[in-house]
Chain A
């Protein structure tokens, strides 16, 4: 892969991959690391990408594996990184207000924070497809391809993720 192709890959998928890394890592420093490692690894293993494989699925799959391998490192960092950083990041997170219609009124910071916290508490098995779908904006098929599981399993994991979060939020708000 040459520099132009890489630049292209970053331009097209950089935002989705970064958002996914951020959600997964939980802080900017680790997100930056994971994002960078993902692209560097992608260059090394690009020959493994099937001709019909979606580049985004390929990149996200690499990010997931790197994060698994480096979990000890990330977990350790997270312990020393104050949670305030995350909350602050949440408060400053850009929200697409211009696209918001009156009925889906922009979520309050508090509610957004609660939803994010509930997602974070999910098991990896549910959390990863959730972030792939809502953060990296991947379709069921793309997620299935990246995780090498049947689309039906992706659907059921997303369903379970949503219902577990609902339960968590109900408990939080009562």
Chain B
């Protein structure tokens, strides 16, 4: 064996793979992918009922670097490893805003926003971090008003106070059209005690002629009707001043020339369409739906179980809780009632034992008080 062969063998041995990935690591990848797939599925399925969906959160911990003031949108993008996006924030398509609003204990600053066809040219052919011209990206920062630093992403307190930061479109129901339904997500980084959030979702430029808000609320990463009010007749969204937490709206200074009403119409049609409608449905599902309709008709003749009539309670995320004799319901009130809707909920839960049916229905009065009750269908 000559020297070169020996050297080759030594290298192969010394640099051989130091081990295999642990089983739990592989499993965690599979779980995350499965979770993502099921979230996408839920998103499509639930959209018709106007329910908020979970936002995919990508949290990256990045070391802080010295700076005296705010980081700019492009610097934040660099910190999050989004180099192409950083270039986009420096491009002519970007709008630098740098507008701050105080709400609750925090100061929120919208730094910049970018979207548009120009983004396509910035993509590098071999890059895996592509940006899409059909998406909107914005950087928002959160700072405490008392000057204390926000928790680092590695701190256990990080994320304890959750925020919903999303564009909302004037004239469109905010619980139906927001970052979650517009295939959005965000990444965060904490630099010098200031939390920066890079949000992205489907392009909002097409709605520029209608007026687009940036909404921020605390208490939940989802749209919360406790924090905002929607006026169906004017299409205006307003922040509720009596909300116990952060609730604010800013106008996004979009270029009205970029509005595309036809595209917006088509987008909304797709976004708001009932799933499966017009397509072949599963016979078992149809049968179930028919049975539920039949049971709903019997509600009117049913007998309300008096002990079950209870006003619901709310948890800190604004979800209602109702419990009675083995029934336990915890859900967002938007699932039951549209904004401004009063009377009985359309949704009813049924349970059956030995051919005996019970239904759980909710009622909302004019004051907004929601009461749950179990009805015996006899």
Could you list which residues of chain A lie within 8 angstroms of chain B, going by C-beta atoms?
A: 3, 6-7, 10, 14-16, 18-20, 22-23, 32, 35-36, 39-41, 43-45, 48, 61-62, 65-66, 69-70, 72-73, 76, 89-90, 93-96, 103-104, 106-107, 111-112, 115-116, 119, 130-131, 134-136, 148, 162, 165-166
Contact = CB atoms under 8 A, between A and B. Distances in A.
B26 to A, nearest CB: 5
Interface string B79-92: 00101000000000
A112 B28 contact: no
B126 interface: yes
19 contacts: A3-B34, A3-B37, A10-B26, A10-B30, A14-B26, A22-B17, A36-B28, A36-B32, A65-B126, A66-B128, A70-B81, A76-B63, A90-B18, A94-B18, A96-B13, A104-B10, A106-B13, A111-B10, A116-B15
A165 B30 CA distance: 38
Given A45-B128, A73-B61, A103-B1, A96 B9 contact: no
- Kindly state the interface size class of chain B when it binds its partner: 35 or more
B305 interface: no
Nearest to B61: A73
A7 B18 CA distance: 21
Contact of B18 (A69, A89, A104): A89
A25 to B, nearest CB: 11
Interface in B1-60: 1, 6-7, 9-22, 25-26, 28-30, 32-34, 37, 60
Interface of B: 1, 6-7, 9-22, 25-26, 28-30, 32-34, 37, 60-63, 81, 83, 126-130
B191 to A, nearest CB: 12
Contacts of B13: 95-96, 104, 106-107, 112
Contacts, number: 120
Task: Decide if the interface of chain A is mainly helix, strand, loop or mixed.
Answer: helix
Contacts of A106: 13
Given A62-B128, A115-B15, A15 B7 contact: no
Can you list the 3 inter-chain pairs with the closest CB atoms, starting with the nearest?
A19-B17, A115-B14, A134-B15
B83 A119 contact: no
Contacts of B19: 18-19, 22, 93-94
Given A15-B21, A35-B25, A111-B10, A23 B128 contact: no
Nearest to A17: B21
B62 A73 contact: yes
Contacts of B128: 41, 44-45, 48, 62, 65-66
Contact of B16 (A19, A43, A45, A130): A19
A24 B193 CA distance: 31
A42 to B, nearest CB: 9
Contacts of B60: 73
B20 A112 contact: no
Contact of A69 (B10, B26, B29, B83): B83
B63 to A, nearest CB: 4
B29 A115 contact: no
Q: Which of B6, B15, B26, B60 is most buried by chain A, counting CB atoms within 10 A of its CB?
A: B15
Contacts of B81: 69-70, 73
